[in-house]
């Protein structure tokens, strides 16, 4: 039953047991099946209205009659039905009929409705191929996205994207379409309502066909063409050995930017180089054991669809037919995944072959030999330059080598007619020395170099007389053989060049003169040596300072100075005196030697032995030119040592017992006084007792190293020696006694470091005057202690006697019984 517009009147609709139950206004609809009832279960039924009309809105009841005698529970229920107008509109945009494989396809669909009641929309795209239809994607009604099983992976990879727009516009973008994406596309719009129980109910849907799309395979539009870069219209090219082969591969397609290309160049059936779709280049020049026989191949991308092959240093092995093979890939993933890594090879094509021929042509050139440095005397440098000009047909990668030969002048050498091989540089730049010049080339005295690609030089650092003669350079061209080795292809020889000069020997003249005279020991000696040269240009000098005691004695080397100003001491130099020796270069050709603190052992003759050295360039080794000795300068003097004196004194010669007595021993120096550190003394103290004879004994001593030694004495006093300064010593007697009275004196032995000999020298022994020490006797001091001890002892004995008597009296009389006298007045005789 139902009730319209909230009225209480119920209109009968349909019954399961009474066919005539329906209201006359609804009987036709019931009879036609527009309104029907379906039993879902024994206790569940469903009312269906096939086409809902606005009049169908209202309150509906379902009721079951009760036959029970007692009513329990409810026997009817009601529900509200709201009928809204169907305003759902689906307007799709027609997609392109044809699209290249790999392009992006956008499917636009406009889904709208008039909002009269809270409803929700969903939109679904599907693809129909033949009789089968597959759902691509559904959006809504609650904002969720559902994909079909076939398109779920592509949607997850970003290959399918949903782009919601404004005013009901929805766009589905399919990236990188494939041939399987062709077919008829359909757009379906659905309106939904959400019941209170949380259930979504479809109200109405509208499906519209968008159109048929045909995906053109990439292979239909893909085109590959190969040609030489110098002649794009040609299909062949002729090269010389060593040239660079450059071929272009042009790729065109309708949708080239959407394709990932893998480009491979083939020489015959062999892959040379491949550029993968990621841009990584893989070279296969070593494949098939061909490494070293063919040129190095490279491949680079010049632009969109343009790829250039480069083969450097071609040889005959590089001839043949070259083909460009292209494989086009499409990424199944979307743009958002950066490629996704799921690639699909869409097409593969090869270009027409290009024929390459490598022809062999021998190179040619012209030689010019000229002197750069021509020596004017012996030991000067020589430099010859061999220039190569007018070079033609030298293949790329080809190299030049050189061979130098020398023919001596008549009268010099064993056989002037023989041509001697100096050395050569082969195509790899290896030096191959001749047997006669091997040592000079290894030591650097002679060098063969290639200073420029077309210039070779021969250098002789110190040209000798035997080097005079005719010089010839022979230049050869080298190329790469079919086995990858360097081989000589052609050779040309220059005209000879003569090297000669007037021979003059270099000489030295060395003059030594005295700058400072050493007249006494300890003074400074200085001399200079001046060098004069002839037939010698720029040179370095090494200096040896030598000496000998007499003209017949052995020669000693004092110091040496190398041409690089490195100073060294000779074996005859005392290591302790090296700071006193100085050798310097005071001018371009002048040297000075200085000896400070001369000694007797330094007397003798001194001179300079100077050697001249030359070298071609800085950093190269020195070469000896000539040497000479100077005149001799003599050191001769007599030694006068210092003189010493001694004195003794005491501030107080009379002391009391137990006091301290002090006596000072002073020394003085005159003449050539040595330094403080070069002077020391041995001091001894002697004593003659006042009572006990004239025997003199040594009391104490201190040696020159400062070690003090005291003698064994019977006296109770103590003795010490103290050095006050360099020349003064103090004797201390602590706790003097009467036995310390007597005469005291000191003896000293000076030691000094001789400036002449450099050794410690002992001077004569010195004895001072005598000092008498008196220890006075004090009567009161000697008696006060005995008197004090006696008085104390007497007083102690007296007190002890009194105490003892008192104790004895008390002990003896305390227990005695009194005896009374007799009555007869007679006294006991014994008592009397």
pLDDT digits (tens, 9 = 90+) for 448-466: 999 988 999 999 988 888 8
Give the model's pLDDT for residue 291: 41
Give the model's pLDDT for residue 69: 74
Tens-place pLDDT, residues 2-34:
998 767 788 899 998 888 899 998 889 999 999
- 380 Cα distance to chain centroid: 46
Give the model's pLDDT for residue 602: 83
Give the model's pLDDT for residue 484: 66
Q: Which pLDDT band, with edges at 50, 70 and 90, does 184 fall under?
A: very high
Q: Which pLDDT band, with edges at 50, 70 and 90, does 781 fall under?
A: low
Tens-place pLDDT, residues 201-233:
888 899 999 999 998 888 788 889 999 988 888
Q: Which pLDDT band, with edges at 50, 70 and 90, does 287 fall under?
A: very low
Q: Report yes or no: 335 and 158 within 8 Å, Cβ to Cβ.
A: yes
Q: Report yes or no: 708 and 685 within 8 Å, Cβ to Cβ.
A: no
Give the model's pLDDT for residue 341: 58
Give the model's pLDDT for residue 290: 39
Sheet of 296-303: strand order equals 223-228, 245-252, 306-312, 296-303
Residue 682 pLDDT greater than 90, yes or no: yes
Tens-place pLDDT, residues 528-560:
999 998 877 778 899 999 999 888 889 999 999
Q: Report yes or no: 382 and 463 within 8 Å, Cβ to Cβ.
A: yes
* Residue predicted with more confidence, 552 or 738: 552
Residue 440 pLDDT greater than 70, yes or no: yes
Q: Which pLDDT band, with edges at 50, 70 and 90, does 197 fall under?
A: confident
User: Largest Cα–Cα distance of the chain, in whole Å?
Assistant: 199
Give the model's pLDDT for residue 815: 55
Give the model's pLDDT for residue 726: 85
- Average pLDDT over every residue of 590-619: 84
Give the model's pLDDT for residue 691: 67
Residue closest to 232 by CA, chosen among 319, 350, 354:
354
Q: Which pLDDT band, with edges at 50, 70 and 90, does 816 fall under?
A: low
Q: Percent of the chain having pLDDT more than 90?
A: 30
Q: Report yes or no: 777 and 655 within 8 Å, Cβ to Cβ.
A: no
- Average pLDDT over every residue of 341-346: 77
CA separation for the pair 119, 269 (Å, rounded): 68
Q: 293-307, 523-537, 582-596: which range is least confident on average?
A: 293-307
Kindly give the residue spans of alpha helices, DSSP state H, lying in 299-426.
Answer: none
Alpha carbon distances (Å) from 549 to 193, 556, 600: 132, 9, 11
Give the model's pLDDT for residue 545: 92
Q: Which pLDDT band, with edges at 50, 70 and 90, does 692 fall under?
A: low
Give the model's pLDDT for residue 459: 94
CA separation for the pair 333, 330 (Å, rounded): 9
Domains of the chain: 2-81 (no CATH), 88-216 (2.60.40.10), 219-284+294-358 (2.60.40.10), 364-499 (2.60.40.10), 507-635 (2.60.40.10), 643-775 (2.60.40.10)
Residue 36 pLDDT greater than 90, yes or no: yes
Q: Report yes or no: 499 and 370 within 8 Å, Cβ to Cβ.
A: no
Q: Which pLDDT band, with edges at 50, 70 and 90, does 187 fall under?
A: very high
Q: 38-52, 215-229, 618-632, 807-821: which range is least confident on average?
A: 807-821
Alpha carbon distances (Å) from 358 to 238, 245, 273, 492: 6, 10, 20, 25
Residue 617 pLDDT greater than 90, yes or no: no
Q: Report yes or no: 684 and 755 within 8 Å, Cβ to Cβ.
A: no
Average pLDDT taken over every residue of the chain: 84
């Amino acid at each position: 039953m139902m009730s319209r517009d909230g009225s209480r009147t119920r209109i009968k609709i349909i019954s399961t047991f009474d066919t005539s139950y329906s209201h006359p206004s609804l009987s036709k609809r019931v009879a036609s099946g527009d309104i029907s009832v379906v039993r879902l279960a024994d206790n569940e039924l469903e009312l269906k209205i096939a086409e809902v009309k606005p009049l169908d809105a209202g309150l509906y009841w379902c009721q079951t009659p009760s036959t029970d005698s007692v009513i329990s529970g409810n026997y009817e229920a009601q529900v509200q039905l709201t009928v809204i107008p169907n305003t759902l509109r689906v307007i799709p945009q027609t997609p392109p009929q044809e699209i290249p494989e790999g392009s992006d396809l956008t499917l636009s669909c406009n889904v709208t409705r008039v909002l009269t009641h809270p409803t929700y929309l969903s939109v679904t795209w599907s693809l129909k191929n033949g009789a089968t239809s597959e759902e691509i994607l559904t959006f809504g009604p609650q904002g969720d996205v559902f994909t079909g099983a076939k398109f779920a992976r592509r949607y997850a990879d970003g290959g399918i994207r949903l782009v919601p727009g404004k005013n009901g516009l929805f766009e589905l973008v399919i990236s990188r379409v494939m041939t399987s994406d062709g077919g008829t596309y359909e757009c379906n719009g659905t309106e939904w309502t959400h019941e209170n129980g949380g259930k979504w109910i479809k109200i109405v849907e509208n499906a519209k066909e968008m159109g048929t799309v045909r995906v053109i395979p990439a292979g239909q539009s893909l085109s590959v063409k190969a040609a030489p870069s110098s002649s794009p219209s040609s299909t062949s090219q002729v090269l010389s050995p060593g040239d660079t082969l450059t071929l272009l591969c042009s790729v065109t397609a309708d949708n080239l930017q959407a394709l990932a290309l893998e480009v491979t160049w083939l020489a015959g059936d062999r892959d040379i180089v491949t550029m993968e779709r990621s841009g990584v280049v893989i070279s296969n020049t070593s494949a098939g054991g061909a490494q070293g026989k063919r040129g190095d191949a490279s491949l680079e991308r010049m632009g969109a669809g343009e790829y250039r092959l480069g083969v450097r240093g071609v040889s005959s092995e590089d001839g043949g037919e070259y083909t460009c093979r292209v494989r086009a890939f499409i990424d199944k993933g979307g743009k958002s995944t950066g490629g996704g890594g799921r690639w699909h090879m869409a097409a593969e094509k090869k270009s027409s072959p290009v024929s390459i021929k490598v022809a062999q042509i021998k190179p040619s050139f012209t030689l010019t030999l000229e002197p750069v440095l021509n020596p004017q005397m012996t030991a000067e440098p020589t430099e010859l330059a061999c220039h190569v000009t007018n070079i033609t047909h030298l293949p790329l990668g080809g190299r030049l080598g050189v061979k130098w030969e020398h023919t001596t002048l008549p009268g010099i050498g064993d056989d002037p007619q023989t041509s001697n091989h100096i050395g050569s540089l082969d195509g790899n730049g290896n030096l191959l020395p001749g047997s006669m010049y091997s040592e000079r080339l290894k030591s650097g005295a002679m060098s063969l170099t290639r200073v420029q690609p077309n210039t070779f030089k021969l250098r002789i650092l110190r040209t000798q007389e035997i080097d005079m003669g005719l010089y010839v350079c022979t230049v050869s061209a080298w190329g790469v053989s079919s086995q990858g080795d360097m081989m000589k292809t052609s050779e040309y020889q220059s005209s000879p060049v003569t090297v000669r000069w007037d021979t003059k020997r270099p000489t030295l003249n060395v003059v030594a003169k005295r700058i400072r005279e050493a007249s006494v020991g300890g003074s400074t000696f200085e001399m200079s040596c001046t060098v004069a040269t002839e037939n010698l240009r720029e040179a370095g000098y090494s200096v040896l300072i030598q000496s000998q005691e007499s003209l017949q004695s052995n020669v000693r080397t004092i110091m040496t100075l190398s041409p690089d100003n490195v100073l060294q001491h000779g074996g005859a130099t005392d290591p302790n005196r090296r700071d006193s020796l100085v050798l310097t270069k005071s001018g371009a050709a002048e040297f000075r030697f200085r000896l400070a603190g001369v000694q007797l052992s330094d007397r003798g003759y001194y001179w300079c032995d100077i050697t001249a050295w030359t070298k071609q360039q800085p950093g190269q080794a020195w070469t000896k030119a000539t040497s000479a000795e100077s005149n001799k300068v003599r050191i001769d003097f007599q030694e006068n040592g210092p003189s010493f004196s001694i004195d003794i004194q005491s501030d107080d010669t009379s002391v009391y017992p137990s006091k301290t007595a002090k006596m000072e021993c002073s020394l003085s120096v005159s003449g050539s006084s040595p330094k403080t550190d070069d002077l020391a003394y041995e001091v001894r103290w002697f004593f003659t007792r006042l009572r006990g004879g004239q025997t003199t004994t040594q009391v104490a001593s201190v040696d020159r190293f400062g070690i003090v030694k005291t003698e064994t004495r019977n006296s109770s006093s103590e003795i010490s020696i103290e050095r006050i300064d360099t020349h003064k010593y103090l004797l201390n007697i602590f706790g003097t006694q009467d036995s310390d009275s007597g005469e005291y004196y000191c003896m000293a032995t000076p030691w000094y470091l001789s400036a002449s000999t450099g050794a410690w020298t002992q001077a004569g022994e010195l004895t001072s005057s005598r000092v008498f020490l008196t220890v006075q006797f004090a009567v009161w001091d000697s008696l006060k202690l005995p008197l004090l001890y006696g008085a104390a002892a007497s007083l102690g004995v007296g007190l002890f006697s009194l105490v003892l008597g008192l104790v004895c009296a008390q002990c003896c009389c305390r227990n005695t019984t009194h005896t009374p006298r007799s009555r007869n007045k007679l006294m006991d005789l014994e008592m009397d």
